[in-house]
Chain A
Amino acid sequence: MSVDARIRTTVGSFEIDVHLTCAPGETVALLGPNGAGKSSVLRTIAGLQGLDQGRIEIAGNVVDDSAAGIHLPAERRRVGFVFQDYVLFPHMTVRQNIAFGPRSTGLDASGVDHWIDALGIADLADRRPSELSGGQAQRVALARALATDPQLLLMDEPLAALDAATRIEVRGRLRHHLAEFRQGTVIVTHDPLDALVLADRVIVVENGRITQDGPTAQVAAEPRTEYLAALLGVTLIRGSAASGTIACVDGGTLIASDTHTAGDVVALVRPQAISLHRERPEGSARNTWHTTVTGIDAHGDQVRVHLAGPPALVAAVTPAAVAELRLAPGEQVWASLKATDVSVHPA
């Protein structure tokens, strides 16, 4: 393992309790809302803040062990850290920034040129950080972290400081660089797209706890928490299933084509799968509701219509449909959903 960290710690009145692993060559995304404790986890692994209880191993070396009273200072952990807004030393050139790590650890300075070339920043080498664009600064920060030959790379919201256009370009480039890095990488982000594009595995952190941990594709397809479902644009409904009928926790029922999954389940519904009608629909859809519109908001070229249910649902329709159906908060509307569009997963 590049890192194996069990961390229990209190930041202010906020409690964090997580177990996180990352294998060599693997990129793990810590995905969660702001204030979930993701950055604290990262800083604790780096040794920039202490932990109350737990044990952290980096590349097989114990760097923190509360039981044994071990706490290795940050400078001896061999961890590369890329900060949110990069924190390049303003009084040094790009080259001096990158050489700072190798000089500190007595490492061969020839690695500096390697990373300057690898990240395509040779023409920036003599500039000051104040003369760099956001995307360029991000590359310099990555080169500076990698030049110390770290056993683990930690990145705190590496794309958050960039504007939307730069973000797309930098995200793609970052993915390419991470693929070449042989050690583990842990990325903290609140943007699902960053996690989906960059990570092999996604760990969802909410309120200081891990709520989901799995391969990226699986986490994306089967969100297990309301937060993640909303983030990915699907509606998550909890309930208990028996032969294809789900009694929803918040009231109402859902008919699903999956008749095998039973017991406590989460049902996922894509907003695009829900049709809205002025009159009672006739057809094959097994789920129909006569319900109240509770809210309407624009979402790109789609309009999200929030429905009271039960269960509460979100339908995605075109602006034309909103006009045609005269949808407005408080209006009654018919909604339908095919049983095959309800995906059921054990909770």
Chain B
Amino acid sequence: MRTPAPRLLIALAMVAFAFLALPLIGLLLSAPWGQMTELLSTPAARDALRLSLVTSLMATAITIVLGVPLAWVLARREFRGRALVRGLVLIPLVLPPVVGGVTLLAAFGRRGLVGQYLYDWFGIQLPFSTAGVVMAEAFVALPFLVITVEGALRVMDIRFEDAARTLGASPTRVLLRVTAPLIAPSLVAGAVLAWARALGEFGATITFAGNFPGVTQTLPLAVYSALEVSREEAIALSVVLLGISFAVLVSLRGRLLGGRG
């Protein structure tokens, strides 16, 4: 039997849904469907699309390569200051992305903590480069992967690893043949979330890498720039991003829409 619901509750729930749905409907209704191909094939749009795909995939790769080991250490090793490390790892989740960009400048800018030596010794300049875009995206995306994978490692029955060890498996073999397959679904989910976050990155990117077409102007930055010139182009690019978001949601529907995950 259903519990009777207060009418006010139902009404507010409907307002909330409308609040989320109306902008999306508005976007789709105002999209210049007839000119889509045209609008998206301008050099600026194509550059932004290409740059976004390349940088977000590279950023995702970096989060996997660095994030999985970090998640493992947080889940499996006890050490002093672990709570502090975990807290720091989560900061990019709550930090305004613009501030994230400023912190990146402080560390990797030409006169930053590390950046000055990178520039003086190796001539490497990360801000306002495509590499800087990848860094900004990885910075904001990394926590998503770490918390997803760490959670999976914690929930996993450690005795699977124990069993593998008594069967003579080296730590590397345990990791690759037992741990990794068992947490694979969470790893995929974490990577997709990280990728979606990287793809949508705006604040840290524009602060740390700037907004140079073809070099650092990703899709969200292109949408922002296009708004001042051509509303149609901005909407067309937005529809592309919405499509990607929708695809991510569908691919993760089991986890995010109250399925098994």
Contacts and interface: CB of A to CB of B under 8 A. Distances in A.
A148 B167 contact: yes
Nearest to B182: A91
B170 A48 contact: no
Given A100-B177, A104-B173, A87 B167 contact: no
Interface in B133-162: 157, 159-160, 162
A16 interface: no
Interface residues of B, number: 18
Interface in B164-211: 164-171, 173, 177-178, 181-182
A75 B182 contact: no
Contacts of A148: 167-168
Contacts of A104: 164, 167-170, 173
Given A100-B177, A104-B173, A87 B163 contact: yes
Given A81-B163, A83-B159, A89 B168 contact: no
A74 B160 contact: no
Interface residues on A, range: 20 to 34
Contacts of B157: 87
Nearest to A48: B162
Given A87-B157, A91-B182, A48 B165 contact: yes
Contact of A75 (B160, B166, B177): B166
A307 to B, nearest CB: 46
A75 B181 CA distance: 20
A144 interface: yes
A221 B165 CA distance: 39
Nearest to B163: A87
A75 B167 CA distance: 6
Contacts of A101: 167-169
A219 interface: no
A87 B160 contact: yes
B163 A79 contact: no
A46 interface: yes
A173 to B, nearest CB: 21
Contacts, number: 62
Q: Which of A43, A76, A91 has most chain B Cβ within 10 Å?
A: A91
Nearest to A100: B167
B164 to A, nearest CB: 7
A89 B163 contact: yes
Contacts of B178: 89
- Per DSSP, are chain A's interface residues mostly helix, strand or loop, or mixed? mixed
Contact of A144 (B162, B167, B181): B167
Nearest to A78: B168
A90 interface: yes
A40 to B, nearest CB: 13
Interface in A194-218: none
Interface string A80-113: 1101000101110000000011001100000000
B162 A89 contact: no
Given A83-B159, A87-B159, A87-B160, A105 B165 contact: no
Nearest to B160: A87
B185 to A, nearest CB: 11
Nearest to A141: B163
Contact of A100 (B162, B169, B170, B182): B169
B162 A74 contact: yes
A73 interface: yes
A262 B28 CA distance: 98
A43 to B, nearest CB: 8
A282 B189 CA distance: 82
Nearest to B166: A81
Contact of B170 (A47, A75, A81, A87): A75
A207 B41 CA distance: 76
A75 B168 contact: yes
B161 to A, nearest CB: 9
B159 A100 contact: no
Interface string A126-150: 0000000000000000001100100
Nearest to A80: B166
A144 B171 CA distance: 19
A75 B162 contact: no
Contacts of B168: 75-76, 78, 101, 104-105, 148
A43 B159 CA distance: 11
27 contacts: A43-B162, A46-B166, A47-B166, A48-B166, A74-B162, A74-B165, A75-B165, A75-B167, A79-B166, A81-B166, A83-B162, A83-B163, A87-B157, A89-B163, A89-B164, A89-B178, A91-B182, A100-B169, A100-B177, A101-B168, A104-B167, A104-B169, A104-B173, A144-B167, A145-B166, A148-B167, A148-B168
Interface of B: 157, 159-160, 162-171, 173, 177-178, 181-182
Given A81-B163, A100-B164, A104-B164, 18 more contacts: A46-B162, A75-B166, A77-B166, A78-B168, A79-B166, A81-B162, A83-B159, A83-B163, A87-B157, A87-B159, A89-B160, A90-B182, A91-B182, A100-B177, A104-B168, A104-B173, A105-B168, A148-B167
